[in-house]
Each structure stands twice: as C-alpha cells, then as structure tokens.
Amino acid sequence: MQAMNTPLHIDFISDVACPWCAVGLHGLDEALRRIGDDIDITLRFQPFELNPDMPPEGDDTLAYLARKYGMAEPQIRQNQQTLRERGAAVGFRFGERTRVWNTFDAHRLLQWAAAVDDETGADHQARLKHALLQAYHGDGENPSDPDVLLRLAGDAGLDVLAAREVLNSDAWAAPVRAAQAQWQQAGIRAVPSVVVNGRHLIQGGQPPEAYEQALRQIAAAGDASASASASA
C-alpha cells in the first residue's frame, strides 16, 4: 500500500506592491496544478508591507526605486524587463506602473477575505490576491483607492457592501499588524516567502519546478518522520 504524503499548509507572505510576489505566486500556482491531488495542500496569504510609510499620494516608481535601492534608471529598466520575461514564463502580464502606492487597506481586505473563506469554505482570498496583483502590476491601478478595492472585491465574489464597511472603518487593521509582526519576529525580511507547515522556508519568486520539487520533498520527508515516530 502506497504511503500518503503529509498534508501541507502554505503561508504565502507577500505584498501587493512586490512584483516578484506576482512571479512567485504564479509559479506556485503552476506547481500546485502539477501536484494536483497527490498532496493535500491549503494556501493562505499573509501580509507584509514593503512601503509601510508610503503616503496616500504615493510616489513616482523610478524615483522611489532609485532612492530605496540606489539604482540608476538603466538598471531599473533592465530589472523591469527581467520581470516581464519571468512573468510571461508563468502566465503573468506586467504592464506600465508609474507610481508606488500604500497597500495597507489591500491587506485589510485580504485578511477579511480569509475570515470569510473560513466561514464559507470558498477561495475569495486567493481570487482577491490575484486581482490585486494584476490591477497593480498589470494595469497600473492604485491598490489604496477604495473604488478600485471595492471593484476587485466584487470581482472576487465578496460582498461589496461588507467590503465597504471594512474600508470605512479600522476593521482588520490590528490583525494585519499582528500578522506582520509575527512573521518579522520569525525572521521574514523579504518577500515572497513561502512557509510550509510553519517551519520550511522557500524564499523568492521561484519557477514552478523549484516549488514543486520542494513541496514534494517536504511532504515525503514528513511521511518518513511520521513513520519513524510511529515505529519508535
């Protein structure tokens, strides 16, 4: 009788403002499609703000990247081309994005969507995450604009009136901050970070093959550990 793989819980720690998070998520999606029913996998999105002090008016993308990373415009343009190529390889389309925006309200909506999913068994959070990444990195939209957020929430199948109540209050602000602090205390300093079963870290926007190999190895190693414990 063939052994069952250990179930895996994946925490995908990321920011809407992170282009490599879009690459990584689509790579992970493809890996999960390849794995199929071989492993029981749950996926939850966790917040991480790259620009927590970004003002409401945002900032020019080139000026922000030059100031934060000390890069000249030609290097920034080359990095953007690399992102477009890596994105295309996993089915994500990067467009022109001229400004960097605050993403805290987007994270609040994502945390709320996760709570809705816990009650309904749906996958609103994943759909909203994908929509936010496409709106920001593909279409150059502002993920701090309430109108944009409400439209994307509706597109993800969420109750727009309930989403408006979240945005018009400070609901889910404390849980977002608590989750960010928890992951920072756990040593997360860059995104995307994929944490499997709370202890295995896969860092960076990896291609599907890398995610698939790592997840299969973790699941199989868990089986071996469980068998050893059971026979001890």
Q: What is the pLDDT of residue 4?
A: 65
Per-residue pLDDT tens for 35-84?
999 999 999 999 999 999 999 899 999 999 999 999 999 999 999 999 99
DSSP string, the chain: -PPPPPPEEEEEEE-TT-HHHHHHHHHHHHHHHHHGGGS-EEEEEEE--S-TT--TT-EEHHHHHHHHH---HHHHHHHHHHHHHHHHHTT-------EE---HHHHHHHHHHHHHHHHH---HHHHHHHHHHIIIIIT---TT-HHHHHHHHHHTT--HHHHHHHHTS-TTHHHHHHHHHHHHHTT--SSSEEEETTTEEEES---HHHHHHHHHHHHHHHHHHHHHHHH-
Q: What is the pLDDT of residue 175?
A: 98
Per-residue pLDDT tens for 17-29?
999 999 999 999 9
pLDDT above 90 coverage of the chain, percent: 91
Asked if pLDDT for residue 12 goes beyond 60, the answer is: yes
Does this model's pTM top 0.95? no
CATH superfamily of 8-231: Glutaredoxin (3.40.30.10)
